[in-house]
């Protein structure tokens, strides 16, 4: 997802993605951007309401919000923490499924399958950017 698509659409999916990225990378944002994103996501304030509260123009709030959204998307593209967490969650689910399907006749196969998924986590599941 590009930074441009996050800025143009306030769909529930994009709001959720922005919220997840904020949870991961909020500490990397400048204080004003962090504050603006918080007002948008936590309080669901409009740009006008944010501008009034901060005593700045509506345009200044919109610009800060766009910069923050773009930065969060770029952090994910560079660091890939969300992608990594999704990968690990999938591996744990697959390992659990393998173990839950274990029976007298297939326990060795299921054990090996579960170990394969757990090793994928331990190896780090290197992402596209090498992290």
Q: What is the pLDDT of residues 6-56, one digit of tens each?
A: 444 578 888 899 999 999 999 999 999 999 999 999 999 999 999 999 999
Which tokens go with 76? 């994910």
Question: Is residue 129 in a domain?
Answer: no
Distances (CA, A) of 128 to 6, 31, 34, 81, 88: 21, 30, 28, 12, 15
Cβ atoms of 92 and 121 within 8 Å: the answer is yes
Q: Which domain holds residue 98?
A: 83-122
Which tokens go with 68? 């923050």
Asked whether residue 9 falls in the same domain as residue 51, the answer is yes
pTM (whole model) above 0.85: no
Angle among Cα 64, 20, 131 to the nearest 5 degrees reads 100
Asked whether residue 44 falls in the same domain as residue 61, the answer is yes
CATH number of domain containing 44: 1.10.10.10
Percent of all residues in the chain with a pLDDT value above 90, rounded to a whole number: 71
CA distance 72 to 34: 10
Question: Is residue 127 in a domain?
Answer: no
């Amino acid at each position: 997802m590009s930074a441009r698509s996050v800025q143009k659409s306030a769909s529930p999916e994009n709001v959720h993605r922005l919220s997840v990225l904020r949870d991961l990378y909020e500490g990397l944002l400048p204080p004003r951007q962090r504050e603006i994103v918080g007002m948008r996501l936590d309080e669901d304030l409009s740009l006008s309401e944010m501008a009034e509260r901060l005593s700045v123009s509506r345009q200044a709030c919109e610009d800060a919000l766009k910069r923050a959204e773009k930065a969060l998307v770029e952090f994910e593209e560079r660091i890939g923490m969300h992608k990594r967490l999704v990968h690990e969650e999938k591996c744990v689910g697959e390992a659990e499924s393998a173990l839950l399907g274990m029976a007298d006749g297939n326990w060795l196969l299921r054990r090996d399958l579960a170990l394969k998924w757990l090793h994928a986590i331990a190896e780090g599941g290197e992402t596209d950017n090498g992290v």
